[in-house]
């Protein structure tokens, strides 16, 4: 049987409650998916700050459970068959947590795959394109004189915003009911608007359904709590 203590990361970031899910994350849109989902589901968990500005993600202990050196990752001490189970990739973590609890992912097969495909829309499109746009808007990206890379990512981000705008016609949530698809997508919208300050670049005002959708998401108490996780050490 695999136990929580079998993972070296638990010796570097020691759990206070070994029965709780151990979340290793940082306050990025990908990192916040796990904490928001755990808050929505009411599962006991502990959040450990993997400070990406200090290269915590490259430590051997973290790489053991997240070989692609990306946050978030987690260990469920009560995984399948009672074994402790480690997971990386935020989309996989969301599916796992939804299946563990029977919530945030429909039971009906058609509705289930509808939610999963929109989760993959974020994983394959929204996250990479928004993230690249943000990089080129940042200090290192601004050093690049060729305007074409930024133009490409701004245009693709705007196109993806349009996909969401059309999808949200007549819907409060991307798949009708609130689901892991929303937990995956909405933090990236918040990042574009509030962290990258790129609303003008992507034409935010041209997407009123998207703007209202983000406001609904941010009004949820569990979302508000999840956005404050983890506590980042000084």
* Residue 231 falls inside a structural domain: no
Residue pLDDT, tens place only, 127-161: 999 999 999 999 999 999 999 999 999 999 999 99
Residue pLDDT, tens place only, 6-20: 999 999 999 999 999
* Residue 142 falls inside a structural domain: yes
Write the CATH number for 50: 3.40.30.10
| 88 and 155 both lie in a single domain | no
Q: Into how many domains does the chain fold?
A: 2
Given this model, what pLDDT does residue 233 score? 75
* Residue 119 falls inside a structural domain: yes
Owning domain of residue 145? 109-220
Mean of the pLDDT values across residues 35-42? 98
| 88 and 115 both lie in a single domain | no
* Residue 139 falls inside a structural domain: yes
- pLDDT band per the 50, 70, 90 thresholds, residue 84: very high
Given this model, what pLDDT does residue 232 score? 83
Contact 184, 119 (CB under 8 A): yes
Mean of the pLDDT values across residues 31-50? 98
Given this model, what pLDDT does residue 234 score? 64
Contact 212, 171 (CB under 8 A): no
| 145 and 167 both lie in a single domain | yes
Q: Is the dihedral of CA 131, 132, 134, 135 positive or negative?
A: positive
Percent of the chain's residues with pLDDT above 90? 98
* Residue 205 falls inside a structural domain: yes
Helix (H, G, I), strand (E, B), or coil: what is residue 74? strand
Taking only Cα atoms into account, the Rg of the chain, rounded to an integer number of angstroms, comes to 18
Mean of the pLDDT values across residues 38-60? 97
**Mean pLDDT for the chain overall:** 97
Residue pLDDT, tens place only, 155-183: 999 999 999 999 999 999 999 999 999 99
């Amino acid at each position: 049987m695999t136990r929580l203590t079998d993972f070296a990361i638990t010796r570097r970031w020691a759990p206070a409650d070994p029965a709780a899910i151990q979340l290793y994350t940082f306050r990025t849109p990908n990192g916040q998916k796990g904490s928001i989902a755990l808050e929505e589901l009411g599962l006991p968990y502990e959040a450990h700050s993997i400070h990406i500005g200090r290269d915590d993600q490259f430590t051997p202990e973290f790489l053991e459970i997240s070989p692609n050196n990306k946050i978030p990752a987690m260990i469920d001490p009560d995984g399948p068959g009672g074994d402790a189970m480690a997971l990386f990739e935020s989309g996989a973590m969301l599916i796992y947590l939804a299946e563990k609890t029977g919530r945030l992912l429909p039971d009906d097969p058609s509705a289930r795959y509808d939610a999963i495909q929109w989760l993959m829309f974020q994983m394959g499109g929204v996250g990479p394109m928004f993230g690249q746009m943000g990089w080129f808007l940042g200090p290192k990206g601004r050093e690049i004189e060729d305007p074409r890379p930024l133009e490409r990512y701004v245009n693709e981000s705007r196109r993806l915003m349009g996909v969401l705008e059309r999808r949200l016609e007549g819907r409060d949530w991307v798949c009708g009911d609130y689901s892991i698809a929303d937990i995956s997508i909405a933090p990236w919208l918040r990042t574009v608007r509030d962290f990258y300050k790129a609303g003008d670049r992507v034409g935010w005002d041209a997407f009123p359904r998207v703007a209202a959708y983000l406001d609904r998401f941010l009004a949820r108490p569990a979302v508000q709590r999840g956005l404050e996780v983890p506590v980042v050490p000084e």
